[in-house]
Amino acid sequence: MQAKMPIVEAELAVTDEHRASARRYPLAVTCEDDTWIAHCLEPDLRFVIGHGETPAAAIECLIDHVAGQLALAESLGSKVAEPGVSFGGPLSVRLPKSLHRTLVARAEAEGLSLNATVTYLLSQALGTEAPARRRVASR
C-alpha cells in the first residue's frame, strides 16, 4: 500500500506569479558528466536544482522547481526570501571598550582576525553553521 503524500503538485497550484518570481533568483549553471545542472544561489533555496541536456533546459527545470518550492511555502504559510535581498558584508556595531578589548585578546590568542572571531562567536551563540575559521598569517 502506497502512502498518500500530504501535498501533491496538482494541489500546489503553481501560478505564473510563482514562475515569474522564480526567474528572479540568482543561479549558477555547471556541467557534470554531460548533464547541465542549474543551482539556485538563494540561501533559502540552495538545495533546489534543475538539470537538462542544455544550459537553457537546466535553467527552465530549475525555474519550475523553484516555482514549486515557492508554491509549497505559500501553501504552508511560510516565506522564502525575496530574490535580490541578500545579507552579508559590513555590519557596524558599537561595543563597550571592555568587550572590544576581550574580543581582540581572544582573536589574537587564537591567531584569528577580529572579524573571524566575532563571526564565529555569533554563529555559535545563534546555533547556526559556523563559517570556516582562517588563521591570520604571522607577520
pLDDT per residue as tens digits for the range 32-82: 888 999 999 888 898 999 999 998 999 999 999 999 999 999 988 888 888
Examine the fold and report which residue of 26, 44, 75 is the final residue of a domain before the chain moves on.
Answer: 75
Judge whether 4 lies within some domain: no
Give the HSE-up count for residue 20: Cα atoms under 13 Å, Cβ half-sphere: 3
User: 91 by DSSP, 3-state: which?
Assistant: coil
Q: Do residues 80 and 69 touch, judged by C-beta distance below 8 A?
A: yes
The single-letter DSSP state of residue 6 is S
Question: In this structure, how many other beta carbons lie within 10 angstroms of the beta carbon of residue 123?
Answer: 13
Portion of the chain with pLDDT greater than 70, in percent: 81
Q: Is residue 41 part of a domain?
A: yes
Structurally, how many domains does the chain consist of?
Answer: 2
Give the domain extent around 36: 9-75
pTM of the model: 0.56
Q: Which of 51, 75, 99 corresponds to the end of one domain?
A: 75
Asked whether residue 115 falls in the same domain as residue 93, the answer is yes
Beta strand extents in the chain (DSSP E only): 27-32, 35-40, 49-52
